[in-house]
Structure 1
Amino acid sequence: MRTRSQTRNRNRQQQSQQAVVQPFHLEEPFVNPPLVLMADNRTMAQLLQAPTEGYEDAIVIPEINANFELKHGLINLVQNKQFFGHDKEDPHAHIRYFNKITSTMRFPDVPSTSIKLMLFPFSLEGSARIWLEKEPPRSILTWDDLVSKFINQFFPPSKTTNLRNEITRFQQRFDESFYEAWDRFNDLLRACPHHGFSELHQLDTFYNALNANDQDSLNSAAGGNFLDKMPRECLRIIESKSKVRNSRNKAVVAKVSSNSSTPGISPDVAALTTEVGTRSYKSLV
């Protein structure tokens, strides 16, 4: 038989088991997360920073040991005639013009090539400027590097091949004067200055492209076979003939025609012979 005290103890145990005890949790103190080290020893803070690489220009300007800065006047000077990269633009002509402009700039202790490297980007606009901006950073170290990349971009090898073929196949047109043919031939040479043809090859190509009358006039002025002369002498004869044909000095031609006793000689040949003879006489005096 259970006593009264045993019963009270049993009831207390049952009540304690049925009671819901709410656990009490202490808040954990804040702990800074540990630094995460990457494979290349960079911290997370460094990774979150904005990148600073890859913004350098393609052109590397050599260090200048002088107090020098580009003035707005110099920049405006090259911006007067900018290159846009259009198909009909001549990159060679742009380089020639740029060299002509910058050749007049002289600053103590500042190399001319450094001035060119600094100014050239201002001479570009449109697709030409976009091309330069897309070049890899620090990939252009010298002026020759810049010219080479510029020409290769806007004057591809296929265009060079086409112009070389035009020069090789050059022919005087039916209604074209000697002066017009010579001028057109020189335009082709200027359009492709890296054609690779020697001066003698150029003279041979032009002479064989002429009609029979103009060839005869060159031979007469040369006193024999025109191509037997030295290239410098051939050029002098061509320039003399070009001036005679272009000027069309009727007084000189009429005088030569009336005084000439040689039958069958054309006024142009006679005038050219007189011109060359006069130059030779002046050189001897």
Structure 2
Amino acid sequence: MDDEPMWAADRVVTPTPGSAITIPETTNEFAIKSDHLTIVKGNQFDGKTKTDPHKHIHKFLRIYVMFKYRDTENEAVRLMMFPLSLTGEAKTWLDELNEGTIETWDELQTAFISRFFPLTFFDRILGEI
């Protein structure tokens, strides 16, 4: 069991020290099911130019609504699981944010979209149309 990847078995999720995301206090410890981790990790966003962060958030939320963790705040689960949906440049971006930068799901979405779909990119696309 010790040699299995993190997503191969149910694990208790705890906040990472020094994380940019501050996880709200939960009333109980819970384990994210391995099949949920597999689904999230199977739909990762890499941050490359041709990938759409809006679609990634939409897909992540469609996957997330399938999960139910009794007695645990939905926002806490989303904040814990979203980093697992990132890889490459997107993962590096999140890892390099200052500790405690993000406290809510709305802040995470805003920061993510701002980084990977900046207004200058939007203006350029609008100009091309």
For this structure pair, what is the TM-score category when the shorter chain's length is used for normalisation? 0.7 to 0.9
Q: Structure 2: which amino acid aligns with 1:88?
A: K
1:267 matched residue in structure 2: none
Instruction: Report the Cα distance in structure 2 between the residues aligned to 1:60 and 1:71, rounded to whole angstroms.
Output: 21
Instruction: Identify which of 76, 85, 92 aligns with 2:38.
Output: 76
1:262 matched residue in structure 2: none
What's the offset of the Cα at 1:109? 1.5
What's the offset of the Cα at 1:165? 4.2
1:246 matched residue in structure 2: none
Contact 1:103 1:112 in 2 (8 A): no
What's the offset of the Cα at 1:101? 0.4
Instruction: Identify which of 83, 93, 104 aligns with 1:121.
Output: 83
Using CA pairs below 8 Å that are at least 6 residues apart, which structure has the higher relative contact order? 2
Counterpart mapping for 1:239-278 below 5 A: none
2:28 matched residue in structure 1: 66
Q: Structure 2: which amino acid aligns with 1:145?
A: E
Deviation digits for residues 134-172 of structure 1, max 9, x if unmatched? 000011000001001101111011122234445xx5xxx
1:92 matched residue in structure 2: 54
Instruction: Identify which of 61, 66, 71 aligns with 1:104.
Output: 66
TM-score, with length taken from structure 2: 0.81
Question: Which structure has the larger Rg?
Answer: 1
What's the offset of the Cα at 1:67? 3.6
Residue 32 of structure 2: SS of its match in structure 1? coil
Instruction: Report the Cα distance in structure 2 between the residues aligned to 1:85 and 1:70, rounded to whole angstroms.
Output: 25
Counterpart mapping for 1:43-62 below 5 A: 55-62=17-24
Looking at secondary structure, tell me which structure has more helix per residue.
Answer: 1
Any stretches of 5+ residues in structure 2 without a counterpart? 1-16
What's the offset of the Cα at 1:104? 1.4
What's the offset of the Cα at 1:77? 1.1
Instruction: Report the Cα distance in structure 2 between the residues aligned to 1:109 and 1:77, rounded to whole angstroms.
Output: 22
1:161 matched residue in structure 2: 123
1:147 matched residue in structure 2: 109
Instruction: Report the Cα distance in structure 1 between the residues aligned to 2:73 and 2:126, rounded to whole angstroms.
Output: 35
Any stretches of 5+ residues in structure 1 without a counterpart? 1-54, 170-285
TM-score, with length taken from structure 1: 0.38
Number of residue pairs matched?
113
Deviation digits for residues 42-98 of structure 1, max 9, x if unmatched? xxxxxxxxxxxxx51011111110241223222111011110111100000000000
RMSD of aligned Cα (Å): 1.4
Query: Which aligned runs of 4 or more in structure 1 are off by greater than 6 angstroms?
Result: none
Q: Structure 2: which amino acid aligns with 1:114?
A: A
Q: Structure 2: which amino acid aligns with 1:69?
A: A
What's the offset of the Cα at 1:118? 0.5
